[in-house]
Structure 1
Amino acid sequence: MRKQINVGDAESMAINSLMFLADDSELLARFLALTGITADQIRTAAGEPGFLAGVLQFYLGHEPTLMRYCEATGTDPALFQEALRLLPGGRQDID
């Protein structure tokens, strides 16, 4: 049986994922290039609705990055999609 997560868990996962990529200059550069924000805008952007969902989408959009994070943190990759659905900007009407 898979672990059920709530919105708080989803937010924590996204924040931890953001910290993980911030500690990796290669990942951070790719994230900034894809999102169009600058490093000094991250703190402000993180408070915007949809930003945390965007962090999870970044991982879900590149499986090697997702697996690197999951292996380093012991996170079940399946939880990323579930967490994304719980966050503003990540909800999807299609299951």
Structure 2
Amino acid sequence: MSAEEAAGIATEALLRLSRDPDQIGRFLAFSGIGPEMIRQAAAEPGFLAGVLEFYMTDEPLLLALCENAGIRPTMIAAARYALAGGLEDHA
């Protein structure tokens, strides 16, 4: 999977999170950033991988994303891997 394709999947995941006040609140707590910092954080390396990691920690949320986006759950893991540069860099 290309980095561009992975970024597209992660961006869609972030957009879906932003539409759900409860989930975006959980994500902000998970990531340790405030709502005013999302745009700035999104430009940081690894942020989009972190969005996908958040989904991967919550199976019902992950499955809902995949169903709504029409992608397989394994694509989320592949996108996370592509964005993070491999497990050896982000253990």
- Alpha-carbon distance between aligned partners in 2 of 1:41 and 1:74, rounded to the nearest angstrom: 29
Does residue 48 of structure 2 align to residue 58 of structure 1? no
Task: State the match for 1:24 in structure 2.
Answer: 20
- Alpha-carbon distance between aligned partners in 1 of 2:67 and 2:77, rounded to the nearest angstrom: 17
Q: Aligned with 1:10: secondary structure?
A: helix
Q: Aligned with 1:91: secondary structure?
A: coil
- Alpha-carbon distance between aligned partners in 1 of 2:31 and 2:80, rounded to the nearest angstrom: 17
Which runs of 5 or more residues in structure 1 are unaligned?
none
Q: Which amino acid aligns with 1:49?
A: P
Which runs of 5 or more residues in structure 2 are unaligned?
none
Q: Which amino acid aligns with 1:75?
A: I
Deviation at 1:71, TM superposition (A): 1.2
Does residue 41 of structure 2 align to residue 45 of structure 1? yes
Give RMSD over aligned pairs.
1.1
- Alpha-carbon distance between aligned partners in 2 of 1:37 and 1:53, rounded to the nearest angstrom: 15
The correspondence of residues 1-95 of structure 1 with structure 2, limited to 5 A, is: 5-88=1-84, 91-93=86-88
TM-score normalised to structure 1 length: 0.87
Cα-to-partner distance string for 1:39-91 (whole Å, 9 max, x where unaligned)? 11000000001101000000011111101111111111110111111113x52
- Alpha-carbon distance between aligned partners in 2 of 1:84 and 1:29, rounded to the nearest angstrom: 21
- Alpha-carbon distance between aligned partners in 2 of 1:69 and 1:59, rounded to the nearest angstrom: 8
Cα-to-partner distance string for 1:22-44 (whole Å, 9 max, x where unaligned)? 01111101001111101110000
Larger radius of gyration between Structure 1 and Structure 2: 1
Q: Which runs of 4+ in 1 moved over 2 A?
A: none
